[in-house]
Amino acid sequence: MISRRSFCKKSILILGGIAVPLAALELFDPKKLAADRSGPSTVRWVFLVDTHKCVGCGFCVKACKIENEIPYDANVSRTWVERYVVTRDGKVHIDSPKAARDGFTSTSIDQGALGMLKIENSDIDKAFFVPKLCNQCDNPPCVQVCPVGATYQTSDGVVLVDRSWCIGCGYCVMACPYGVRFFHPVYHAAEKCNFCYHRISKGMKPVCVEACPFGARRIGNIRDPNDPVTRIIMTERVNVLKEEYGTKPQVFYVGLTREVK
């Protein structure tokens, strides 16, 4: 008969073994942890947004929705355009009705549950538009928190989501300071802009870049010193959003003002 002592010993060993899932044994290979970026990639995609050029027509949003199969009427979008209206009393009014899919057709500000706010032209100090999209952060918190590695970063810097692997916990949605993530209404997995990875990896441009009639959106390769976008980023005064979070955003803005959130 098995002695109690040896029984206890054995069961502790077995239970301990079960407690550590097999995959955990791979824990100590740091290269596998962060998606491997040590490869000799000559590409690092970056984006440049010129807010002086954006007129808020929303062509980019419309094109993006169609290209990336985000249900047209769903109240989510991979990219959107914000309108900023600063009034004489110093107040900042912001809106982005339906993500500006149809452009800004009314001068009233959409305040959600509080209704529409009518602002007299004479009260306006300044007004402008700011397009937003995933920043493809260099230190992406969404990749950091994903419990199963469904969100990962490629060697050329773009953060992608594996729809077949996402468990739909929403941790990445919470972790992104820019609020760009959402759940796809059809596939139910986490969703966001990926710079049209299916296009840029084939030498094409993202569809929003192509759709913008004013050249407010551009994409470039920061590892190529001769890239026109790289030259602007390196030589002109550009800015990024919410730098304080340490996410190292890779979408650069020309003409960003302090009102932009």
Positions touching other proteins (CB under 8 A) are 1-2, 4, 7-8, 11-12, 15, 18-21, 23-24, 27, 33-34, 74-77, 80, 82, 92-96, 98-99, 111-114, 132, 141, 143-149, 165-171, 173-183, 185, 188-189, 244-246, 261
Which residue in the block uniquely carries the two structure tokens 């190529």?
224
Contact by Cβ (8 Å): 157, 174: no
Q: Is the dihedral of CA 101, 104, 108, 109 positive or negative?
A: positive
Q: Is the dihedral of CA 209, 78, 60, 231 positive or negative?
A: negative
CB of 151: closest distance to other proteins in angstroms?
A: 9
- Residue 253 phi, psi (nearest 5): -120, 140
Contact by Cβ (8 Å): 251, 241: yes
Smallest Cα–Cα separation from 44: which of 132, 133, 136? 136
The only residue of 55, 108, 171, 255 in contact with ligand SF4, by rule CB under 6 A: 171
What residue 197 binds from ligand SF4, other proteins, none (CB within 5 to 8 A, per partner kind)? none
* Contact call for residue 190 and ligand SF4 (CB under 6 A): yes
* Contact call for residue 158 and ligand SF4 (CB under 6 A): no
CB of 52: closest distance to other proteins in angstroms?
A: 22
The only residue of 176, 207, 208, 260 in contact with ligand SF4, by rule CB under 6 A: 176
Q: Write the DSSP assignment of 180-198 as a string of letters.
A: --EE-TTT-SEE---S-HH
Of 15-23, 53-61, 132-140, 206-214, which segment contacts ligand SF4 by CB under 6 A?
132-140
* Contact call for residue 142 and ligand SF4 (CB under 6 A): yes
Other CB atoms closer than 10 Å to residue 207's CB: what's the count?
Answer: 20
* Contact call for residue 46 and ligand SF4 (CB under 6 A): no
The only residue of 135, 154, 221, 230 in contact with ligand SF4, by rule CB under 6 A: 135
Query: Which CB sits closer to ligand SF4, 54 or 180?
Result: 180
Q: What is the DSSP letter of 109?
A: E
